[in-house]
Amino acid sequence: MPVGHGEDGKAGQRQIATGLALKGFVVLTYDPLGQGERLQYYDPELRASKIGGPTQEHSHANGHAMFNR
């Protein structure tokens, strides 16, 4: 179960994961780079991402794989 894109990505999914676990499901959540609070391009001086918010981070990291034909 992936976490959300917002800065509180994990918190938004916690209730769903807890509900599934209480029903007997095994729930695995993972935190990809560039989503939520786990920033890949963190700048200590800015105390934020160098390239924008969480969605811009993972789009930027995947940019080299995208091309126009």
Q: Which of 3-12, 17-26, 53-62 has the highest mean pLDDT?
A: 17-26
Instruction: Please check whether residue 1 lies inside any domain of the structure.
Output: no
pTM: predicted TM-score of the whole model, two decimal places: 0.47
Q: Please tell me the distance from the alpha carbon of residue 34 to that of residue 14, in angstroms, as a whole number.
A: 19
For 24-53, the pLDDT digits (tens) are 999 988 776 666 666 778 889 988 888 877
Instruction: Please check whether residue 2 lies inside any domain of the structure.
Output: no
- By residue range, what is the domain housing residue 54? 9-65
Instruction: Please check whether residue 3 lies inside any domain of the structure.
Output: no
With pLDDT > 70 as the criterion, what percentage of the chain qualifies? Answer: 58
Number of domains in the chain: 1
Q: Count how many Cα atoms sit within 13 Å of the Cα of residue 4 in the half-sphere of its side chain.
A: 12
Instruction: Please check whether residue 4 lies inside any domain of the structure.
Output: no
Instruction: Please check whether residue 47 lies inside any domain of the structure.
Output: yes
Instruction: Please check whether residue 58 lies inside any domain of the structure.
Output: yes
Instruction: Please check whether residue 55 lies inside any domain of the structure.
Output: yes
- 26-59: b (≥16 Cβ within 10 Å) or e: eeeeeebebbbeebbbeeeeeeebeeeebeebee
